[in-house]
Structure formats: C-alpha cells, structure tokens
Structure 1
Amino acid sequence: MAAPPSRRASPPVLPDELVEEILLRLPPEDPACLVRASLVCKTWGCAVSRPIFRRLLHEHHGTAPVLGFLHNWPSERIPNFMPTTASPFSLAAPDRRVWQAVDCRHGRALYLSEYEDQGTQELLVWEPTTGRQRRVFLPAAFNCRYPNAAVFCAADACDHRDCHGGPFCVVLVFRKSSGSDEYDSDDEEHLTSACVYSSETDTWGEPTSTHVQFAMDFGYYSSVLVGRSLLYFMSDFWLIVEYDWARHSVRVFEVPDEAGDGERCTLMLADDGGLGVTELTEDLNPHLKLWSRVASDVTDARWVLSRVINLEKLLPIGALVRNVGLLVVGFAEGANVIFVNTVAGLFAIELQSGRVNMVCHDQGPCRLIPVVTFYTPVPRNRHQDLRLSNAAKVLGGQEERGEQDTTVDRAQQLFDDGSNAIKEGTTSRPSNVSAMS
C-alpha cells in the first residue's frame, strides 16, 4: 500500500519582533493597510493595537500624518469626518447637528454643543482613534457668549506620542455677557475671559479677564498651542488673544498691520515653533504671506514677514479665477499643512515640501479642524498578546545593538520583497477596508 502523500509544509513562523518591524513599514498615510493587517491573525491584531505601537510609529516615521479633518458644513451629503488619506478611511465623528467641532490636538478632538439653553451648554472631548468620549458642562455662572475652546495634554513631560487616556485640560475663551447683545455700546466695558478645566480634578478654575475695546466673537477661527503653555485664539476683529496657562493671564494684540482683512488670516506655527499668521492676498497674483512674531529684549514683540508663497505655481489655474472663494480655512498643527479653499475645491499645501493635494471638490466657508495622528486599530477584545514585548525593550535600550540591526534589516528586506511582488502582480492585493472607530 502506497504511503499517503505528505501534507504541504506550513510556512515558517516569523519572530514577533520581525512582525512588528514589518508592520511599522506600512504607509501611515494609508490607515486601511494597518486595518487589513490587524485582521490577518490575533497576533498581528494585538501587535498593531497596543499603545506602544503608536510610539514606534513616531520613532520610525517622525511626523504624524493628517488623517483628515472635522468640519461644520451644513451639507448632509458630506461626512462629518473628511479623510485626506490615500485609501478609504472613516471615523465615527459626533453628529454635527448636535456638536460643533472646535479643536483637535494631542489625540483628542473637542466639540461644543450647538444648544444654549441657560446653563445646559457643554463640551465633548472625543478621542478619534479609540472612540472614548467625555462630556464637560459649562458653568452657568460664566454666562459666556460666542466662545471658543482648545484641548491639550496636561501630563508632565509628555512627548504626545501616546497620551491617549491621560490627563488633559480645556481652555475656554469667551466674551463675558452683561445681559446685552450690543456690539457698539460706548459706555459698556467689554471683557474677554479665559478659564481652564482639568480632567484630573473634574473642575473649572476661576476665570481671568482683560478689558477690550470690542465685544469679540471667537467662533470662526481655530487655536494654536505654542510650547507647553501659550494658547492663541483669533477673534473677528483681527485681534489675537493670548492665554498663558502657566501664569493664568490673558492679553490681546493685533495681527500684522499689513495683513489687512482678518477674514483671510489664520493662526499657525512659525518655522521656529513660535506664533505665526498666514495671510492670503487678494490681488491679481494671489499668494500666501507667512508672518512670525519675534520677541525682543528691548521692545515689544513684533511681526516679521518670513516667507511668501506664490499660489499660481502651486494651484491649478481654474482654482484662482478672480480670487472667488479663495480662503485659508485651516492649519494642521504638528504637520505644517495649510488648507486653502478655492472655487475648484479644497487643497492641502505642505509648507515644508511645497506639495499640494486636492482634498475634495466640496468646499464651504467655515473652518476645518485637522486630525493629525497615527492611526492604530482598536483591539477587538480586551485580551492583549504580551508576547510582542520587544518594542518596549528597544525603546528602553535593553536590546543588543547587533540583534536590533539584524532584525531591522531583515524586516526591511521582507517588506521590500512583498512590495515588489505586489507591483509585479505576483501577489493579489486585498480589497479596501474602511476603518470605523
């Protein structure tokens, strides 16, 4: 009797540290790749969903990608979260009929409730990559009007590579109401106030205020965080409000005199990490002017023109017809990307590389809230595979240098071989998958 045919040999199992190194090389601007990888097997799913994997992505790729943006456009046919990635990707963002997106930073997005029914207005802190939510009620005693708010990580010495679930603060800036909604009363003293909420104590601190000439509205612009304690907000009178978290102080100053129309300005980070302003000109040769606020030991800080970008060299001709609809509508803090709205659609401009990407054909007049982070899939269950522990050892400097280099080189070789096979058509490409948080 003939011996039964031998069974087909199983492929060799890759070491856990090699699996991690390969998965790290999947393009971060295509989050669906990690989603598909997480569905291959339980080990891979646990590897990409562990918190430390996001830190490894930062170590390997550096700057986090812009996954997309939140917005408040009224159109029901436009998703609440608009992706800017290379593959189909979505996040289950809160309903904009109830919540207005106001900020996103350090892995958290911040929303303000659309209803204002005497003390019932609240904030919603939402983590896009984990789906966690936390509601924060605004004290009725604030009696605030036309507010804006910013969220940031409050953990000491955090590098913001994996601060999900940690302590955070919310800074609320608003116009103190005196019972009147008049903007042009000469006798009325207008107050601009700021207050801080701490997630660690679940309480609001005492507001701090400054007198201003105008009753300012903060609802049209996004905030910018400079360093660890300085938050900046733009108002509708082309004034900038600075809140110093460390000193709990508020002051107000103007945008650059040459900037002119505040509707075409937005706050940004300058090349040196300080405060900057982007101005969009209205002349026949549209261009962006980038201003930096420079401190001085002798005089007050002043605005300096640091760079001029000719939009005719970056955007298609059809987008610059008579400057119609040409607006700067957002700045991606952490990625150095500016969003420009045109009649031809919405464009993302990378300031460092000069690369331009058309985000969508739909456009609207309201601000955008960019989501800048590495996406890692949420675990399918609470079980965590503890075998993939080499990443922690590498970060802690415990691995031998020779073994680490060998693993990295081998992972890169396997990744390159797989990529070449896909390009040559020898390996079937899996279908696209939408990632739902």
Structure 2
Amino acid sequence: MAASPPAILDELFEEILLRLPPDDPACLLRASLVCKAWGCAVSRPHFRRRLHELHRAPPVLGLLHDLEDERIPRFIPTTASSFSLTAPHNRYWRTLDCRHGRALFLSNPQSPETQELLVWEPITGAQQRIPVPAALESNFPMAAVFCAADGCDHRACLGGPFRVLFILSVVVGQVTDDDCYLTSACAYSSETGTWGEPTSLRRRSPMPMCFTFYSSVLVGKSLLYFMSDDAFILECDLARHRLAVFNPPNHEPVCGQYTIMLAEDGGLGVCQRMDQQLKLWSREVSDSVEARWVLSRVVYLENLLPVGALVDAETRVQVLGFAEGANTIFLTTVDGIFMIKLQSERARRVCDESDDHLFCYLIPVVSFYTPVPRGEHRDPSLKHSEDAGGEEKTVYQAQQLINKMSQMLPGGTLSTLSIASTTP
C-alpha cells in the first residue's frame, strides 16, 4: 500500500495561492472552494496585503458602464477568463466613480423619490445607501468616493470609513446669454453619517458645468479633479475647502478628446486624443510661477492598434477613461474597446463594441480579487444552470487548478484528494 503523501504546510499553500495570476480572479475563486482552510486563507486581510506586496499594482478586473441596455451586463470583465460581478442594475443606478475598493452610483433622477447615492464594494458585495439632501439635487451632478482612514495604504481597507464628495452646478440670478453659475462641492462622511458645509464657486459661463462623460482623479490625499462635459477641469482642495476651474491643454469642448489622469510624477495629468495619437500632459505647479501644462509623451496608436481600429480615427476614436492605480487608458474605436497600459504601451481589445452599443464613458474597477468567506458567495464565473449538480465539474476544475499549482513545486504532483486529506 502506497504511503500517504506528506502533509503540506499552510504557509506553503498560501505561497502557492498568492502566485496564481491576479488578472485571472476566477482561478483564485475556485481555489477557495477546494477546502475550508483555503477559503479562510484567501479571505483574510493579511492575504490581500500580501497580494499587494508581491504583485504591486492591482489588475483591472473590469469596467462599469452607464448604458441602459438589458443585453449588456453592467460589469464588463477585462480578465483572462470568464468572470463577473453582480453590479447594481443599469435601469436604476448611474455609474459615477470607483476607488479604494468602492464603486459609487447615483439613483435615476427621473425617480419621484429622493435621490440616493449607493456605495458598493465589488469584492464583498456590501452596499450602503446615502440619501442626497434636497438642496444638493440637480440634473447633471457628479460625485467621487475615497477611503477616509488616516494613514491607510488602501491595501485592505474594505469595510472601513469612506467619504463621498458631491459636485453640482446651478444657475443663480437672472437668466441671460452669459449666466452666472454656482458650482458647489459637499462632502459626506460615513463615520458621522452626515454631510458637511458646501464649498462654492461662482463662474460666468453660457452653460453650467455638467458632469456626464468623465469620472474623477484623486491626486495625493486631498486634491480631487473632475472634468466637465465641455472639458473644463474642476479642482477640489479638500484640505483648504477651495474650488478652482482651469482649462486643459489646447482646450476644445469635444466629447471623447480628453480624460484626466495621474501623471508619471503622481500629479494631475491629461490624456488628449489627436487623430491617431495620444498626447500625455502633466501640470506643473509652482509657488513662484503660474501653473502650466507640459507635454510628457506621445503615444502613437498606429503602433499599438489594428489598422481596422483606426478607421475614421478623428471622429470614432475616443478616450473613455483612465484606470487610477493601473496607469491604463481606455479607448473606443470602430473595432471595439481597447485598454492601453501606458507604462509598457501594450494594447488589448476588451470589448467588441458595435454601433448599437456606443459607450460614452467607462469606470474601471481596479483591485485584487479575494473571495469573501466560504458560504457567503457563489462562483460568479458560473451560470445559474451550472450550480445544480455541479460537484463533478467543480472537482474537475479543482484538479485542473492543482495541476497548474503543482508546476510551482519542485518534484511533486498534488491531487485534489491528497489535498482534501491533508488539509482540514
């Protein structure tokens, strides 16, 4: 009778699981279902911190969009294998932002009830609703969500305190050809459950600052930037409670030509699409001279995208968003949606967009995926019809996973049965 395989230390299991590809979250999810010990190990905050230490930058798990189309899932995966998250329904919630493990939505303004914000954690599925005060309700607002924990490195801040900054613009005084608009920012704290005093800025303009095409960018800990539909940039200084408005480089109020981003030095940047090029700008700020835009780099799309994707580039190639934390730009073309990693200048198509489904903007979900504790989730990579009687398939998937992991170990092959017998 063959001897039983030696027991494998829990620490070794953790090291194996940590080295599963982070851009293939379904692999780690299935591993968590092999046994209770694995499920507990990957759901701990410690495991999430180790993922950050080992892999550094988190992957882009997918994209949230704002199309009211039942045929398109609200969450579009960008991962190596099939993977989905049950995001709030398109019909009732408008996507606004995603940062520090939380996504932010605003209820449909056509609803007769009071407007609400919804904070959703894609990894845990936790949700929290926040009523919007009547004084803040407007037609085209925007908001941003961010972690509020002092000294947090955002590696395991799920479930912690957060803040929401709500932006709106309304006309004040008499309606003229050049109205005076009041743009205001008001912050909500999850720790106190209250809204703070608004900070406002008066500005003369033929139209208000509407926010329907762009998300926000957080620079440092206290500077939030928003881009209006007519491509003006709103700066919100959270520490000083100040608002300011300025132009992007070569300002043209054209939808899809710009997106705000983080520059290479961590400051504010802008990606400008000009025909078949992406111009990356950074904003230099000095106490002695006026802030100015400096061209940092030019990305030539003909070197990255298929020829067919650049047909009618001047009108059909548009910048859809920037993945904060992953340094990635998203473009829509006649050949689909592409993600471009700016550091390596590598492009990959992530969605086959057609003329029937034209996205105005996208909100990337940037995070390491770690399954919630066993029994509190289901495998999002499987359809409902596959859940019943799926034990045989689950064992097969687990065996395939173990075969992959065994290649990382010197001189040995693991089996599903041996793991089940040596792991509690």
**TM-score, structure 1 normalization:** 0.83
Tell me which of 260, 271, 274 is aligned to 2:264: 271
SS at match of 1:190: strand
2:191 maps to 200
Shift of 1:76: 1.8
Distance change >3 Å, CA 179–CA 91, structure 1 → 2: farther
Moved over 6 A (4+): 419-422, 426-429
1:31-54 residue CA offsets vs partner (Å, 9 max, x unmatched) = 011111111111111111112111
Matched residue, 1:399: none
Contact 2:187 2:196 survives alignment (8 Å)? yes
Which segment drifts farther, 297-306 or 102-111? 297-306
- Choose the corresponding residue for 1:370, options 342, 356, 364: 364
- 1:147-195 C-alpha deviation (Å, 9 max, x unpaired): 0000000000100001100000000111135599x6xx24642111100
Match of 2:12 in 1: 18
Q: Distance in 2 between matches of 1:297 and 1:259?
A: 28
Task: Report percent identity of matched pairs.
Answer: 60
Specify the code of the residue in structure 1 equivalent to 2:352: H
2:48 aligns to what? 54
Distance 1:24 1:241 in 2: 40
Provide the residue aligned with 1:222 in structure 2. 215
Cα distance between partner residues in 2 of 1:179 and 1:135 = 33
Q: CA shift at 1:365, angstroms? A: 3.2
The match for 2:407 among 390, 409, 417 is 417
CA shift digits 1:44-84 (9 cap, x unpaired): 11111112111110011100000001001233221110000
Q: Paired residue for 1:305?
A: 295
- Within a 5 Å distance, the mapping from 1:62-73 to structure 2 comes to 62-73=56-67
Q: Which residue matches 2:284?
A: 294
Structure 2's unaligned 5+ residue stretches are 377-403, 417-424
Q: Is the 8 A contact 2:22 2:59 kept in 1?
A: yes
Letter of the structure 2 residue corresponding to residue 196 of structure 1 = A
User: What SS is found at the alignment partner of 1:145?
Assistant: coil
- Structure 1 unmatched runs, 5+: 1-5, 383-413, 430-437
SS across alignment from 1:374: coil
How many Å apart are 1:418 and its aligned residue?
A: 4.7
Corresponding residue for residue 390 of structure 1: none
Whether 2:125 is the aligned partner of 1:131: answer: yes
- Work out whether 1:233 is the aligned partner of 2:226: yes
| Contact 1:259/1:279, CA 8 A, preserved across alignment | no
Q: Does structure 1 retain, via aligned residues, the 8 Å contact 2:220–2:266? A: yes
Asked if residue 76 in structure 1 is aligned to residue 65 in structure 2, the reply is: no
Aligned counterparts of 1:45 and 1:290: Cα–Cα separation in 2: 43
CA distance in 2, matches of 1:372, 1:90: 14
Cα distance in structure 2, aligned partners of 1:81 and 1:174: 26
Q: What is the CA distance between 1:259 and its match in structure 2?
A: 5.9
Q: CA–CA distance in 2 between the matches of 1:103 and 1:420? A: 44
**Alignment partner of 1:316 out of 283, 306, 322:** 306
Aligned to 2:421: none
Contact 1:142 1:176 in 2 (8 A): no
CA distance in 1, matches of 2:414, 2:5: 16
Match of 1:256? 249
User: Any conservation in 1 of the 2:109–2:139 contact (CA below 8 Å)?
Assistant: no
- Which 10-residue stretch deviates more, 24-33 or 297-306? 297-306
CA positional deviation for 1:237: 2.3
Aligned AA for 2:329?
A: I
Q: What's the secondary structure of 2:331's corresponding residue?
A: strand
Query: Do the aligned partners of 1:174 and 1:194 also contact (CA within 8 Å) in 2?
Result: yes
Q: Does the 8 A contact of 1:151 with 1:171 survive in 2?
A: yes
Q: TM-score, normalised by structure 2?
A: 0.85
Q: Is the 8 A contact 1:110 1:125 kept in 2?
A: yes
Give, in whole Å, the separation in 2 of the partners of 1:13 and 1:178.
Answer: 73
